[in-house]
């Protein structure tokens, strides 16, 4: 099924699309529903229950804060980084619901972490209940954060596969169909995506301009990230590294030291810069999730720095081709597998980001559709089985390094594909199926619970 580029690359607040962006949207939607039913004036208490992975890693991931943002009716794009909304709630003991109704609120009492309960539909479950002054239930709804910031209410969860498709000229359900449509219409994957986006948005938005806006936010995070040092929040005492890595590399240049692998150092710095910004709860673009949001910007910066573009127009066109191609690849994973670490492990986050970046880079560097498929397939093939085991539930270790490792793998996958003709034995469809089956058979402890893997063996949180 076709997913819009602007759904795949969406602006949100770090550090986790499934644990911050999704819950924030769910809480806001719950309050919107309460308001639409004209019950907001009667509201005196809001109670939230978080289940499974959201309960186990919610504090480290900033889920509780995200829910408070949602209750306040704030959209991620509108958050003012200069205002400490959470501190205001903690100090006053009140929350201004939907910006109009002030009620008592305590993170400890009004958000319950049900760490041993997993709802059957999905491991990222949350239940919201609104009460009046006599403790009558005004509204109760259960939501799931199903990956990449996408949410589904309990009655919608089975419709993930059957959700109403966009009315687009080129609908596809798998890579074989995508390739055939492109072949028949003599178009690239990026051209197909841009046609579809035009059909979805019409004149409402200028597609190219909006894509470039997303690119500029992603690139801005690199430039911000390399200027900041200090310790990342969350109590793990993880140091920010991007700035010192950047300064060390610059001083190497100044001393005229030569190193044939400098490109790798740059990619590491760029990926670290964005992933560290994400860990600090900065404004991010899901690519396709927050935990993996450093990978694609790093590969795009590599493309920009190491390719010989004649002018800015060529550079912008390459960025648009990259993003459009990457988004089509992500549609394939969302349709036939998952991009949720809680559902399929880190394969769904870093693995998918790596596959998207490999395909995007191949397209932007002039690869044909077969080479793009090959690059995306190679990238996922060597991420199969990657577990999600963030230490203390924080999107820091191993997540930040994984962005750098994934970015380098994506560049290599693109280079391998570009050196070949595009013919390959393993199709992207078969690797997506393999990734999903592998993810489903992973023990649930390895899926964003912080109960196993590095999270269990490296340090006692
Ligand atoms: S280990 Fe991977 S999937 Fe898990 S939180 Fe970190 S980046 Fe996301």
Is residue 349 lining ligand 1, measured as CB closer than 6 Å? yes
Is residue 275 lining ligand 1, measured as CB closer than 6 Å? no
Sorting pLDDT into bands at 50, 70 and 90, what band is 407?
A: very high
Residue from 175, 221, 229 nearest 359 by CA: 175
Mean pLDDT, all residues of the chain: 93
The reported pLDDT for the residue numbered 361 is 98
What is the rounded (10 degree) CA torsion for 341, 347, 349, 351?
180
Mean pLDDT of 366-382: 98
Is residue 17 lining ligand 1, measured as CB closer than 6 Å? no
The reported pLDDT for the residue numbered 161 is 45
* Cβ 160 vs Cβ 170: under 8 Å: no
Least confident of 265-269, 281-285, 418-422: 281-285
Report the separation in Å between the CA atom of 291 and the middle of ligand 1, taken as the mean of its atom positions: 6
- pLDDT one-digit tens code per residue, 161-200: 456 889 999 999 999 999 999 999 999 999 999 999 999 9
User: Do residue 387 and residue 253 come from a single domain?
Assistant: yes
- pLDDT one-digit tens code per residue, 15-47: 888 888 899 999 999 999 999 999 999 999 999
Domain holding 342: CATH number? 1.10.4100
Q: Which residue's alpha carbon is at the smallest distance from atom 2 of ligand 1?
A: 346
List the alpha helices (DSSP H) in 78-206.
85-92, 107-110, 175-185, 189-201
Distance CA 40, CA 131 (A): 10
Last residue of one domain, picked from the residues 102, 137, 160: 160
The reported pLDDT for the residue numbered 203 is 81
DSSP-derived 3-state class of residue 348: helix
Q: Answer yes or no: is 3 within a domain.
A: no
DSSP 322-380: HHHHHHHHHHHHHHHS---HHHHGGGGTHHHHHHHHHHHHHHHTT--HHHHHHHHHHHH
- pLDDT one-digit tens code per residue, 441-460: 999 999 988 888 999 999 88
User: Do residue 33 and residue 112 come from a single domain?
Assistant: yes
Residues in the chain: 461
Is residue 232 lining ligand 1, measured as CB closer than 6 Å? no
User: Do residue 53 and residue 132 come from a single domain?
Assistant: yes
* Cβ 392 vs Cβ 455: under 8 Å: yes
ω into 345 cis (within 30 of 0) = no
What is the rounded end-to-end Cα distance, in angstroms, of the chain?
41
pTM summary value: 0.86
Kind and range of the H or E run holding 153:
strand 150-153
Range of the domain at 250: 175-457
Q: Answer yes or no: is 447 within a domain.
A: yes
Q: Answer yes or no: is 279 within a domain.
A: yes
Pairing of strands 283-285, 150-153: unpaired
| Atom of ligand 1 lying closest to residue 348 CA | 3
- pLDDT one-digit tens code per residue, 349-368: 999 999 999 999 999 999 99
Q: Which residue's alpha carbon is at the smallest distance from atom 3 of ligand 1?
A: 346
CA distances from 85 to 29, 48, 96, 110 (A): 19, 19, 10, 17
Sorting pLDDT into bands at 50, 70 and 90, what band is 81?
A: low
| Atom of ligand 1 lying closest to residue 389 CA | 1
| Residue 91 CB coordination number (10 Å) | 9
Is residue 287 lining ligand 1, measured as CB closer than 6 Å? no
User: Do residue 146 and residue 179 come from a single domain?
Assistant: no
Sorting pLDDT into bands at 50, 70 and 90, what band is 79?
A: confident
Q: Answer yes or no: is 5 within a domain.
A: no
Last residue of one domain, picked from the residues 160, 193, 210: 160
Q: Which residue has the higher pLDDT, 76 or 311?
A: 311
Mean pLDDT of 388-397: 91
Q: Answer yes or no: is 181 within a domain.
A: yes
Is residue 215 lining ligand 1, measured as CB closer than 6 Å? no
**Percentage of the chain surpassing pLDDT 90?**
79
Domain holding 63: CATH number? 3.30.1330.90
* Cβ 243 vs Cβ 227: under 8 Å: yes
Distance CA 335, CA 168 (A): 16
Spatial strand order in the sheet of 137-147? 111-114, 45-51, 125-131, 137-147, 150-153
pLDDT at 370 over 50: yes
Q: Running DSSP on this structure, what letter comes out for residue 165?
A: P
User: Do residue 149 and residue 255 come from a single domain?
Assistant: no
Is residue 197 lining ligand 1, measured as CB closer than 6 Å? no
Residue from 283, 284, 304 nearest 360 by CA: 304
User: Do residue 415 and residue 295 come from a single domain?
Assistant: yes
Report the separation in Å between the CA atom of 27 and the middle of ligand 1, taken as the mean of its atom positions: 23
Is residue 291 lining ligand 1, measured as CB closer than 6 Å? yes
ω into 76 cis (within 30 of 0) = no
Distance CA 61, CA 18 (A): 9
Mean pLDDT of 220-235: 93
* Cβ 358 vs Cβ 417: under 8 Å: yes
* Cβ 221 vs Cβ 275: under 8 Å: no
DSSP-derived 3-state class of residue 129: strand
- What is the number of structural domains in the chain? 2
The reported pLDDT for the residue numbered 287 is 96
**Residue that is written with structure tokens 């920009």 in the block:** 304
Q: Answer yes or no: is 30 within a domain.
A: yes
Q: Which residue has the higher pLDDT, 84 or 435?
A: 435
Q: Which residue's alpha carbon is at the smallest distance from atom 6 of ligand 1?
A: 399
Least confident of 279-288, 382-391, 400-409: 279-288
**Residue that is written with structure tokens 């140091």 in the block:** 239
Report the separation in Å between the CA atom of 399 and the middle of ligand 1, taken as the mean of its atom positions: 5
User: Do residue 22 and residue 102 come from a single domain?
Assistant: yes
Q: Which residue's alpha carbon is at the smallest distance from atom 4 of ligand 1?
A: 388
Q: Answer yes or no: is 117 within a domain.
A: yes
**Assigned token pair, 413:** 């996958």
**Assigned token pair, 305:** 């720095």
List the alpha helices (DSSP H) in 174-206.
175-185, 189-201
Residue from 151, 293, 168, 278 nearest 224 by CA: 278
Is residue 60 lining ligand 1, measured as CB closer than 6 Å? no
Distance CA 368, CA 189 (A): 9
Tell me which of 17, 402, 453, 455 to substitute to probe ligand 1's pocket, judged by most ligand atoms within 8 Å of the beta carbon. Answer: 402
Residues β-bridged to residue 13: 283
User: Do residue 154 and residue 215 come from a single domain?
Assistant: no
Report the separation in Å between the CA atom of 316 and the middle of ligand 1, taken as the mean of its atom positions: 30
Least confident of 77-91, 214-228, 391-405: 77-91
Tell me which of 22, 124, 349, 391 to substitute to probe ligand 1's pocket, judged by most ligand atoms within 8 Å of the beta carbon. Answer: 349
**Residue that is written with structure tokens 């049900």 in the block:** 114
- pLDDT one-digit tens code per residue, 137-148: 999 999 999 877
Mean pLDDT of 103-109: 97
Is residue 400 lining ligand 1, measured as CB closer than 6 Å? no
Report the separation in Å between the CA atom of 202 and the middle of ligand 1, taken as the mean of its atom positions: 36
* Cβ 315 vs Cβ 372: under 8 Å: no
User: Do residue 179 and residue 104 come from a single domain?
Assistant: no
pLDDT at 158 over 80: no
User: Do residue 341 and residue 424 come from a single domain?
Assistant: yes
Last residue of one domain, picked from the residues 160, 188, 207: 160
User: Do residue 33 and residue 126 come from a single domain?
Assistant: yes
Is residue 388 lining ligand 1, measured as CB closer than 6 Å? yes
Is residue 361 lining ligand 1, measured as CB closer than 6 Å? no
Is residue 350 lining ligand 1, measured as CB closer than 6 Å? yes
User: Do residue 90 and residue 205 come from a single domain?
Assistant: no
Is residue 394 lining ligand 1, measured as CB closer than 6 Å? no
Distance CA 158, CA 20 (A): 22
**Percentage of the chain surpassing pLDDT 70?**
98
Q: What is the largest CA-CA distance in the chain?
A: 74
| Atom of ligand 1 lying closest to residue 403 CA | 7
Q: Answer yes or no: is 6 within a domain.
A: no
């Amino acid at each position: 099924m076709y997913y819009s580029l602007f759904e795949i690359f969406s602006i949100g607040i770090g550090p986790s699309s499934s644990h911050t962006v999704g819950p924030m949207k769910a809480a806001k939607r719950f309050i919107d529903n309460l308001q639409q039913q004209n019950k907001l004036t009667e509201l005196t208490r809001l109670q939230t229950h978080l289940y499974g992975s959201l309960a186990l890693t919610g504090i480290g991931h900033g889920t509780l804060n995200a829910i408070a943002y949602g209750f306040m009716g704030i959209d991620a794009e509108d958050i003012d980084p200069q205002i400490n909304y959470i501190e205001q709630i903690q100090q006053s003991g009140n929350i201004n619901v939907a910006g109009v109704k002030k009620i008592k609120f305590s993170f400890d009492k009004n958000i319950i972490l049900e760490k041993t309960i997993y709802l059957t539909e999905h491991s990222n479950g949350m239940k919201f209940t609104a009460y009046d002054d006599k403790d009558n239930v005004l509204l109760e709804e259960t939501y799931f954060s199903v990956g990449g910031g996408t949410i589904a209410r309990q009655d919608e969860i089975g419709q993930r596969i059957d959700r109403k498709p966009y009315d687009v000229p080129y609908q596809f359900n798998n890579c074989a169909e995508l390739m055939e449509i492109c072949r028949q219409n003599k178009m690239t994957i990026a051209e197909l995506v841009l046609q579809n986006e035009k059909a979805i948005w019409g004149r409402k938005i200028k597609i190219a301009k909006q894509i470039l806006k997303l690119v500029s936010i992603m690139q801005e995070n690199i430039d911000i990230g390399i200027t900041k040092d200090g310790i990342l929040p969350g109590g793990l005492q993880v140091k920010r590294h991007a700035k010192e890595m950047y300064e060390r590399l610059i001083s190497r240049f100044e001393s005229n030291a030569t190193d044939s692998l400098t490109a790798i150092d740059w990619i590491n710095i760029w990926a670290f810069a964005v992933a560290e910004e994400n860990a600090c709860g900065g404004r991010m673009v899901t690519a396709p999730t927050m935990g993996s949001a450093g990978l694609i910007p790093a590969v795009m910066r590599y493309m920009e720095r190491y390719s010989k573009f004649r002018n800015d127009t060529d550079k912008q066109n390459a960025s648009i081709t990259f993003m459009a191609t990457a988004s089509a690849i992500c549609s394939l994973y969302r349709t036939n597998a998952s991009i949720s670490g809680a559902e399929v492990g880190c394969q769904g986050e870093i693995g998918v980001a790596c596959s998207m970046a490999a395909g995007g880079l191949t397209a932007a560097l002039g690869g044909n559709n077969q080479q793009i498929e090959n690059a995306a397939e190679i990238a996922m093939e060597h991420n199969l089985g990657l577990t999600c085991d963030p230490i203390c539930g924080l999107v820091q270790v191993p997540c930040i390094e994984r962005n750098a490792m994934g970015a380098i793998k994506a560049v290599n996958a693109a280079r391998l594909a570009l050196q070949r003709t595009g013919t390959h034995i393993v199709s992207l469809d078969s690797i997506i199926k393999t990734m999903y089956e592998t993810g489903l058979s992973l023990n649930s402890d390895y899926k964003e619970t912080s109960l196993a893997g590095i999270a269990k063996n490296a340090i006692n949180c």
